[in-house]
Amino acid sequence: MSKANGFKRFQGTPGYIASGPLVDAVNCAIALERPLLLKGEPGTGKTVLAKHVADGLGMPMLSWHIKSTTKAADGLYVYDTVQRLNDSRFGSGDVSDIRRYIKLGPLGQTFAAKERHVLLIDEIDKADLEFPNDLLRELDEMRFSITETSEEVSAQHRPVVMITSNNEKELPDAFLRRCIFYYIEFPDVPLM
């Protein structure tokens, strides 16, 4: 890691040999504070790269693994109404403090963190078509509101956001315009 022009630069790690253009794409995303969208076939090292970027920059990392049922709001927070109802009927605790039943998701945790993180949003193309667009405002503004408590969570430090896609379906144009894009090929002989 080197620090020039006011930001930490990724230079690769001993465990991940990155091509020059890939290193440039990572550093461009860091400098411009935009998400890095990594597309490529399964097994090309997209997910592993995020861990090595975090290690190379000396930052903690949080991962959000996307499934077909994942909703954008899940990455912000989840309000456990079932547990609150259970506690109100059978528990002895005070259920009036709704905050006890709100759990921040990976995106919410990176916003609330006291130090800068790398956030991996893994396999975004597994979610429904509207999922990427549902993240636009939060990724642009780096803040969101918790409806149940009227609290706003704002990022103290803009995370390094890395998003992977296996290129199984097209992502919306509005989402793509907000990302730095890099396609990872299978390694060629010189990189092996």
Please report the sign of the dihedral spanned by the C-alpha atoms of residue 9, residue 164, residue 46, residue 154.
positive
More confident residue, 183 or 190: 183
Evaluate whether 20 touches 27 at the Cβ level (below 8 Å): no
More confident residue, 36 or 8: 36
Q: What's the one-letter identity of residue 143?
A: R
Quote the CA–CA distance of 179 and 107 in Å, as a whole number. Answer: 17
Strand 36-39 and strand 61-65: the pairing is unpaired
Predicted confidence (pLDDT) at residue 115 exceeds the cutoff of 70: yes
pLDDT digits (tens, 9 = 90+) for 9-61: 898 888 888 899 999 999 999 999 999 999 999 989 999 999 999 999 999 99
Q: Within the chain, how many helices (H) and strands (E) appear?
A: 8, 11
Strand 118-122 and strand 61-65: the pairing is parallel
In the chain the domains, ranked by start, together with CATH numbers, are 2-191 (3.40.50.300)
pLDDT digits (tens, 9 = 90+) for 130-183: 999 999 999 999 999 999 999 999 999 999 999 999 988 899 999 999 999 999
pTM of the model: 0.89
Radius of gyration of the chain (CA): 18
Burial class (CB in 10 A: 0-12, 13-18, 19+), 123: buried
SS3 58: coil
Q: What's the one-letter identity of residue 120?
A: L
Strand 77-79 and strand 143-146: the pairing is unpaired
Q: What's the one-letter identity of residue 105?
A: G
Predicted confidence (pLDDT) at residue 188 exceeds the cutoff of 80: no
Evaluate whether 163 touches 121 at the Cβ level (below 8 Å): yes
Predicted confidence (pLDDT) at residue 112 exceeds the cutoff of 90: yes
- Residue 168, pLDDT score: 87
Q: What is the DSSP letter of 127?
A: S
